[in-house]
Amino acid sequence: MGSRTLHPDTTAEAYLELLADRGIDVFLGNAGTDFASLVEAFAKFERDGRQAPRPMLVPHEFVAVSMAHGYYVAGGRPAAVMVHVNVGTANASTAIITASRANVPVLMTAGRTPITEEGVLGARDLHIHWAQESFDQAAMLREYVKWDYELRMPIQLESVVDRALELMLAEPRGPVYLTLPREVLAARPGAVTIASPARRQSRSERFPDPARIEEAARILARAERPLILVSAAGIDARAVAGLIDLAEAGAIGVVEADPIYLNFPHGHPLHLGYNQSGSTNPSLAEADAILVVEADVPWYPALGKPAEDVPIIHLGVDPFFSRYPMRSYPCDVPIAATPAAALPLLAEAVRRHADRHAGAHRAERLAGEHRQRHAVWQETALQQAGKSTIGFAWAARCLGEVLDESTVVVNEYPLDRRFVAFDRPGSYFASPHSSGLGFGLGAALGVKLARPQATVIATVGDGAYFFGEPLSCLYAQRAHALPVLTVIFNNQQWEAVKFGALGVHPDGVAKARGRFPLSALTPSPRFEVMAGTVDGYGERVESPSELPAALKRGLAAVRDGQPAILNVQCQRAPA
């Protein structure tokens, strides 16, 4: 087994060398006085040309964690984030909730105000060092991280960092939180010998219970109208291939339930559309067997659900979503497994049990449904082309028209997948279901960081745009050469809030008066002007016929290295 001996001047130096050794290549920082020895260490590495994670300043903590999130989902590599003590942690917390609910690993770290009041290098020397101390700094995040700890002594460095990485990457994955006191970072640890490569590997796929696979396969093979519902399996391209294999093996229709990735190609004849609030998929009520794959909310029981006696199978790394306080979907057959590992086994078993003749017949019927549904969506979008204002369906369709092999879309809210054909795994990332608004802008930067060759488009509502710390994102786009095209679907309101009021009070005063206090975002800012703050490209778009060319101009600017913003005035139901 290999080892390396480091000769750092400080614990901070050893820490950065250790992170690099463990494959952490990006360090997203929002610094304070707690970073003193890290600033010094990075400067030294830069001078000496030594390997360390790339330090990247991000002016808001929420953006830094959202970037780490995008970086992981697009590239499979976790990043380190470091923020300033308790206050930085608080700013980051919404993004940590998001990472937690999406099982996204983030090495989340924060300084810890100096422990000592005098007498040690790094001891307190500012008023903040008293006022920023918490009784329990990690308490703020404890519900949403898998593990938290404080680095108490330099000698613990390797074991503590390896424990963090081990748990972050063990399934189900998620963020971990480590606090780093200033005196410990500044301490002189002497020579440090570390195992290299690490001997704390925890990446391990979960394989399914063979009896459950067999049971599920019989159910799916015997059914006349089996259905797959999926939200999040597509983070792994192998799972997309597995889903195609399974769907074809059993002639099973697939519905994406509020998808946060591309799970199944939109153009595949077995793709039967989407299940989302406001448009319950008709296949749900018709199904006589259901397989749920990595879907926390496969349907909305209050709006539309499967018939009573339909057998239901749940497949996922944690098919019970153990960290959700309440979730009561019926489960007759649980399959706790990595989808990429389980789906091929299930496909093989279904193929063994399936009646080929019935399957061929059903595949034909489903292809007809697919064509018919797609035709209706196409018609809806095309109808909006002739309106005088831009409709969401038309806007989505126009965006679909400019996508190519190089484009990746990060979507926060407005882009309705019915009107845009995503077919490639890894070409679409949406806001996870915890929906802490603002995710999209930072996540898009992380995607660009992971895939420098890609053209990244962030689609956001005007509401989401405000929440995304747009100026910090624009700064990071220019400073770190991560240009993104941001398309704001600007309906000048928080329409979700209005829909919420209408849903709970369908005959209320708000509806009768057409007034929804606390939901209007007027007067709407000239968002496109913000691009000018970083010498980017900005444009306001008002008419349906202008949109295709405006999208092309925005893309050309981004491909030329400029951040770009299109402020698209649009409505769900255009005039």
Ligand X SMILES: Cc1ncc(C[n+]2csc(CCOP(=O)(O)OP(=O)(O)O)c2C)c(N)n1
Residue 464 near ligand X by CB under 6 A = yes
Nearer to ligand X, 185 or 473 (CB): 473
Number of other residues whose CB lies within 10 A of the CB of residue 256: 28
Please report whether residue 493 would count as binding ligand X according to CB under 6 A. Answer: yes
Q: Please, which residue, 281 or 435, has the CB nearer to ligand X? A: 435
Residue 428 makes contact with ligand X by CB under 6 A? no
- Told to check if 496 binds ligand X by CB under 6 A, we report yes
By CB under 6 A, which span of 45-53, 55-63, 462-470, 510-518 interacts with ligand X? 462-470
Q: Is 437 in the site for ligand X (CB under 6 A)?
A: yes
- Contact status: 93 vs ligand X (CB under 6 A): no
**Sign of the alpha-carbon torsion through 107, 111, 115, 116:** positive
Q: Is 427 in the site for ligand X (CB under 6 A)?
A: no
| Residue nearer to ligand X on the CB measure, 181 or 442 | 442
Stretch that binds ligand X, among 35-43, 274-282, 418-426, 489-497 (CB under 6 A): 489-497
Please identify, using beta-carbon distances, which residue of 20 and 496 lies nearer to ligand X.
496
Query: Which of 35, 42, 177, 413 lies at the binding interface for ligand X (CB under 6 A)?
Result: 413
Query: Are 572 and 491 in contact, with CB atoms under 8 Å apart?
Result: yes
94 vs 113 by CB, closer to ligand X: 94
Closer residue to ligand X in complex, CB, 11/472: 472
Q: Which residue has the tokens 């971990």?
A: 176
* Minimum distance of ligand X from residue 491's CB (angstroms): 5
- Smallest gap from Cβ 435 to ligand X, in A, equals 4
What is the largest distance, in Å, between two alpha-carbon atoms of the chain?
82
DSSP string, 390-425: EEHHHHHHHHHHH--TTEEEEEES---GGGS---ST
Under the binding rule (CB under 6 A), the answer on residue 436 touching ligand X is yes
| C-beta separation of 488 from 567 below 8 A | yes
Question: Binding marks (x or -) toward ligand X, 363..382, rule CB under 6 A?
Answer: --------------------
The CB-of-329 to ligand X minimum distance in angstroms stands at 23
Q: Identify which range of 6-14, 271-279, 315-323, 486-494 contacts ligand X by CB under 6 A.
A: 486-494
Q: Are 39 and 57 in contact (CB under 8 A)?
A: no
State the amino acid at position 573 in one-letter form: A
Q: Is 94 in the site for ligand X (CB under 6 A)?
A: yes
Q: Which of 86, 281, 338, 435 binds ligand X (CB under 6 A)?
A: 435
- Joined together, the tokens standing for residue 465 give 């745009």
Between CA 293 and CA 314 the distance in angstroms is 6
Q: How far is the CB of 461 from ligand X (least distance, A)?
A: 2
CB 418 within 8 A of CB 255: no
Piece of 206-214, 305-313, 331-339, 455-463 that binds ligand X (CB under 6 A): 455-463
- Nearest CA to 296 among 310, 280, 278, 316? 316
Q: How far apart are CA 426 and CA 415, in angstroms?
A: 16
Nearest residue (CB) to ligand X, 109 versus 571: 571
The CB-of-395 to ligand X minimum distance in angstroms stands at 12
Instruction: Calculate Rg over the CA atoms of the chain.
Output: 25
Shortest distance, position 224 Cβ to ligand X, whole Å? 38
| Smallest gap from residue 83 Cβ to ligand X (A) | 18
Phi first, then psi: give them for residue 325, nearest 5 degrees: -60, -45
Token duo for residue 372: 């018919």
444 binds ligand X (CB under 6 A): no
Least distance CB 488 / ligand X (angstroms): 9
Question: Can residue 414 be called a binding residue for ligand X (CB under 6 A)?
Answer: yes
Q: Judged by CB, which is closer to ligand X: 436, or 536?
A: 436
The answer to the question of residue 432 lying near ligand X (CB under 6 A) is no
Give me the residue label for tokens 């952490």. 24
Taking the complex as a whole, how short is the minimal distance between the CB of residue 466 and ligand X, in angstroms?
A: 8
d(CA 563, CA 519): 29
The single residue among 35, 72, 274, 467 that binds ligand X, judged by CB under 6 A, is 467
3-class DSSP string for 271-319: EEEEEECCECCHHHHHCCEEEEECCCCCCCCCCCCCCCCCCEEEEECCC
Among 495, 541, 555, 566, binds ligand X (CB under 6 A): 495
Q: What residues numbered 339-368 form the site for ligand X, per CB under 6 A?
A: none
Half-sphere exposure of 86 (CA within 13 A, CB side): 15
Q: Which amino acid belongs to residue 142?
A: R
Sequence-ordered strand ranges (E) for 69-195: 80-83, 107-112, 148-150, 176-181, 192-195
Which residue number, 208 or 414, has a Cβ lying nearer to ligand X? Answer: 414
Is 440 a binder of ligand X (CB under 6 A)? no
Closest contact distance (angstroms) between CB of 436 and ligand X is: 5
Contact status, residue 196 vs residue 46, Cβ threshold 8 Å: no
Q: Does the footprint of ligand X cover residue 100 (CB under 6 A)?
A: no
Task: Count the residues of the shown chain that bind ligand X, applying the rule CB under 6 A.
Answer: 17
CB 142 within 8 A of CB 148: yes
Instruction: State how far the Cα of 112 lies from the Cα of 115, in Å rounded to an integer.
Output: 8
Three-state SS at 263 = coil
First to last CA, the chain: 69
Residues that bind ligand X (CB under 6 A): 94, 413-414, 435-437, 461-464, 467, 491, 493-497
